[in-house]
A and B are shown apart, each in its own frame.
Chain A
Amino acid sequence: MASDNIQIKVKRQDGPESKPYWQEFEVPFKPHSNIISCLQDIQRNPSTCKGERVNPVVWECNCLEEVCGACTMVINGRVRQACTALVHKLDHPITLEPMSKFPVVRDLHVDRTRMFRNLKKVKAWIHVDGTHDIGEGPILPDEERAKRYVLSECMTCGCCLEACPQFSKDNNFLGAATFAQVRLFNAHPTGKFDQEQRLDAVMGEGGIADCGNAQVCVEVCPKHIPLTESIADVGRQTTLQILKNLFFK
């Protein structure tokens, strides 16, 4: 075997209910290649190191520029996007695993529906269509806009949840990404209309109070979203809300 081949160990799973197993592959090293191109190489020639012909590895990807979040997986033990994981910057052999906190569809492809359901729970949008005209949205000061812009970069990739010790398959924790979106939409003058509903949605089981402040979310966020600051900010909003609920309603 040529020395400039790359060894890749993949944790595979044939279906949602089947048992995972490991397989090793070897692909030729190409300068500036990323994990996606390696997976494409495996797809072209799906033979393991032992020479066994197998089904090609399944994964998801879309934008290839770290804005869609589809190719999120655990690479060398750390959750990140496959598209921006450059092979020459990784330790070898490379290990690829699906995210462990989401149900596996097949191989490296996971189902992140829970994240989108959570966004629905907290109404992570701004109501513009209603029974009455709410007029034009007010103009935001640029400083405020810049703060919101960073939060809007969230691509629902799931890194923060995969790395979160409070988030697991068997609980209903909403997680950092959802809390940051609550902050984003509550910080919008028109979005504020639904502020109380959003806060009520994060003040239940699996809500903001379940955060354990391990702060791993902010360390692994590929978009550098100030997640811990957002959690504290939503924490402040819910504190005021609970005082209001308890003593002023």
Chain B
Amino acid sequence: MDRVSKDQLHYLLLKTHSLTGLVPIGAYLCVHLSVNSLRTVGVLPYQLSIDAINNLPFLIWIETIFIYIPLLFHSFMGFYLSKNARYNLARYRYPRNGLYTLQRLSGAVVFVFLVYHVGTTVVPKWTNGKHLFEAAPFLIEIMNMEFQTWTGRIIYLIGIASAAFHFANGLWGFCISWGLVVGVRAQRNAALAFSLVGVVLTVMGLATVFEFSVHPESTVPTIAGVFSGKGGG
């Protein structure tokens, strides 16, 4: 293939921006919220799932390649692209125009939230050297503390709802810009289906926040072969 021209590069960057929103970031969001919702089942299954993740080999590489790099690319590309937007919702008040505006706004909100979220969970985990089975109790304690105040709860409510909206609405945009959904009726049906996705993700996230807020439970590191949680044996 010849050297890529400026126009081709522009197109490929935009397509990559669109794709990274779905895979791996969107996919990760679904996994993350699903795994976290295990907290509503009980602190033990939740802890075991965190153990499983923190015992993955090459965790830092998996995180960097599949989460941090795509996320940073998607974020900075998003900020760069939204500089081009000339919002006109005040003049042209249509639902889709509202969602267009909200998509860019929620992206910025999620970015700020993620800086906070990563800064208060993953960063202390690394700086305190809490790895493998040590990670789960440490992280659970951080979340217990977080959800004791309304400030923490509200930050997470806004962050989760924004992320779920941004993903669900972005999924719709993805389907249109890649031409998976074309007709007007198909676009409307896709919007209905994806709004359901957004609602389910939000509810899962909020249920987790609720559980943490109402039943904060501390744990001790799991010892392989022995249950460590309350009443374990």
Contacts and interface: CB of A to CB of B under 8 A. Distances in A.
Contact of A203 (B6, B7, B179, B181): B7
Given A232-B179, A238-B179, A214 B100 contact: yes
Interface in A202-233: 203-205, 207-216, 219-220, 226, 228-229, 231-233
A166 interface: yes
Nearest to B92: A216
Interface string B70-101: 00000000000000111110011010110111
A235 B177 contact: yes
Contact of A213 (B7, B15, B173, B183): B173
Contacts of B187: 228-229, 232
A220 B92 contact: yes
Contact of A249 (B1, B7, B88, B100): B1
A204 B178 contact: no
Q: Chain A interface residue count: which class?
A: 35 or more
Contacts, number: 112
B97 A215 contact: yes
Interface residues of B, number: 37
B8 interface: yes
Contacts of A62: none
A1 B24 CA distance: 68
Contacts of A232: 176-177, 179, 181-183, 187
Interface of A: 77-78, 163, 165-168, 171, 203-205, 207-216, 219-220, 226, 228-229, 231-240, 242, 246, 249
Given A165-B85, A232-B183, 11 more contacts: A78-B91, A165-B97, A167-B86, A204-B5, A205-B6, A210-B14, A213-B173, A215-B100, A219-B94, A228-B187, A232-B179
27 contacts: A78-B91, A163-B88, A163-B92, A165-B86, A165-B97, A165-B101, A166-B84, A166-B85, A166-B86, A204-B7, A204-B11, A208-B177, A209-B177, A213-B173, A213-B177, A214-B97, A216-B96, A216-B97, A228-B187, A229-B183, A232-B182, A234-B179, A235-B178, A235-B179, A238-B11, A238-B179, A242-B12
